[in-house]
Amino acid sequence: MTAATPPSAVTPARCDPDNGGAHPLEFIPIFRRIPRSIPRDIVYTLIWNTLFAVGFTMLNLVFDPRETFTGTFWPTFVFAQCIGFIIHGLFLIGDWVLPDINSHGGWVRAFYYTIVPLLGTFAGYVLAATLLHIDTMRAWLFAPRGAFVVGTISVIISSSLLLIFAQRARVARMEAAFEHERARVAAAEREATLAQLKLLEAQVEPHFLYNTLANIVSLVDSDPATAKRMIERLIALLRGAALAAGKEGEGGSLAAQIDHLHAYLDLMALRMGGRLTFGIDMAPDVAPLHLPPLLLQPLVENAIRHGLEPKVEGGDIRIVARRDGDTLVLVVADTGIGFAATRAKAANGGGLGLPNVRDRLDALYGRAAAMVIEDNAPSGARVTLRVPVGVHP
């Protein structure tokens, strides 16, 4: 090969039938980082063609040591750019004329991705020979021997690239299948979590209902007014629960859950005969936010059952809901017997418990959520939940 003999073919600037026109340069991982665009593809084609020019220049020096790099590179560079950009343009036209080419069978695509580089190679030779005023090159190109050599090398290079991109396409399909399977497993795990949640709800609500009804029965004769008020609050509690289950079976707004808790705390205050006081402080901007079920309520139930009921004089429970940037902060603080005693009793007494709430947070939000348990001065325990705003599991 002499200085006047450029590379016989430059591979297509877009030659990936299975990846939506990915550039051949994207075979190198670092070039996949930039999103596809027309300016990017033009720069990539310039780089791709230049790499071929350098490669063929080095081969020319190996076969003809008398040549110099400077004298050989320039004509080779011109030929490489002409061939490469014409092929690039032909593929763009092909995308416009045959937008569904990649949906055809393998032989049709193989023909398409072979004939386009072949035509581009011949046209690029003609253009480069004209620009460099090499009349003998044009004559050689259209001679039988020249046409055969150029065509054969173009087909070999194009076929090699098709094999490379076919491997990339198989890897891409495998990755897509893996992601699909992972999404399917995640959906199955979520369904299992919801099923466990419904089972827990079915176990907890009858227990609470039976205890409340038993307490009402015991008050019917001795304190009918309190029994009547308990029945009213129980009806309100059950009505709210039924509406929440019918409209938003996977939770609901924080305001709806707070209303439900208010009815629950009213009932518990009546049952405990004045040994329980409570307060709820909910910022207006967090009221419409979504909150999955069985996150806040178990904390309140745990505080009453393990913190306040065992205490002779009872105590107070405070619920705070506020927003901290993109985080919903929920605080349940009581003045009961304290967390150390609460933890021991909860471990032996069953129920939902704090570990279940922590597991729910992990399942729903992962590391994006947190639960902090600490002592509450001067007595009792404080549990703080931090849940990301806008994340609807």
Distance CA 95, CA 88 (A): 11
Q: Which residue's structure tokens are 């009792």?
A: 380
Beta strand 315-324 with 276-282 is parallel
Same domain (yes/no): 158, 264: no
Same domain (yes/no): 169, 255: no
Q: Give me 189's structure tokens.
A: 């795990």
Same domain (yes/no): 157, 237: no
Instruction: Classify residue 4: in a domain, yes or no.
Output: no
Q: Which string of DSSP letters, residue by residue, matches 250-309? A: T--BHHHHHHHHHHHHHHHHHHTTTSEEEEEEE-GGGTT-B--SSSSHHHHHHIIIIIIT
Please give the distance of CA 205 from its chain centroid, rounded to a whole number. 36
Structurally, the chain folds into a number of domains equal to 2
Instruction: Classify residue 292: in a domain, yes or no.
Output: yes
- 315 φ, ψ to 5°? 170, -160
Assign 337 to helix, strand or coil.
coil
| Residue 360, pLDDT score | 80
Q: What is the CATH number of the domain that holds 307?
A: 3.30.565.10
Torsion of CA 207, 209, 210, 216, to 10 degrees: 150
Q: Which of 181, 214, 247 is the last residue of a domain?
A: 181
Same domain (yes/no): 176, 247: no
Same domain (yes/no): 236, 367: yes
Q: Which string of DSSP letters, residue by residue, matches 164-229? A: HHHHHHHHHHHHHHHHHHHHHHHHHHHHHHHHHHHHHHHHHHHHHHHHHHHHHHHHHTT-HHHHHH
Assign 387 to helix, strand or coil.
strand
Q: How far is residue 183 from each of residues 3, 73, 177, 187, 189, measured CA to CA in Å?
A: 57, 52, 10, 6, 10
Same domain (yes/no): 383, 252: yes
Of 42, 157, 155, 139, residue with least CA distance to 88: 42
Same domain (yes/no): 156, 272: no
Per-residue pLDDT tens digits of the chain, which is 393 residues long? 333 444 443 444 444 434 445 677 777 778 878 888 888 888 988 998 898 889 888 888 888 778 788 788 988 899 889 988 998 888 888 878 887 776 666 777 778 878 888 888 888 888 988 898 887 877 787 788 888 877 777 776 677 666 766 666 677 778 788 888 888 777 766 666 665 555 555 444 556 676 777 878 877 888 888 888 888 877 777 766 655 554 444 557 899 889 888 888 888 888 887 889 999 999 999 999 988 877 888 899 889 888 898 888 889 999 999 999 999 999 999 999 887 655 555 444 444 468 878 888 887 888 889 999 998 888 899 999 999 987 655
**Residue 56: domain span:** 24-181
Q: Which of 149, 181, 213 is the last residue of a domain?
A: 181
Instruction: Classify residue 99: in a domain, yes or no.
Output: yes
| Residue 149, pLDDT score | 74
Instruction: Classify residue 9: in a domain, yes or no.
Output: no
Same domain (yes/no): 44, 172: yes
Phi-psi region of 20 (alpha: psi -120 to 50; beta: other; left: phi over 0): left
Instruction: Classify residue 213: in a domain, yes or no.
Output: no
**Alpha helices for 64-143 (secondary structure H):** 69-97, 106-132, 135-141
Same domain (yes/no): 160, 233: no
Same domain (yes/no): 104, 176: yes
Element (H, E) at 154: helix 144-220
| Residue 351, pLDDT score | 43
Assign 368 to helix, strand or coil.
helix
Tell me 147's DSSP state: H
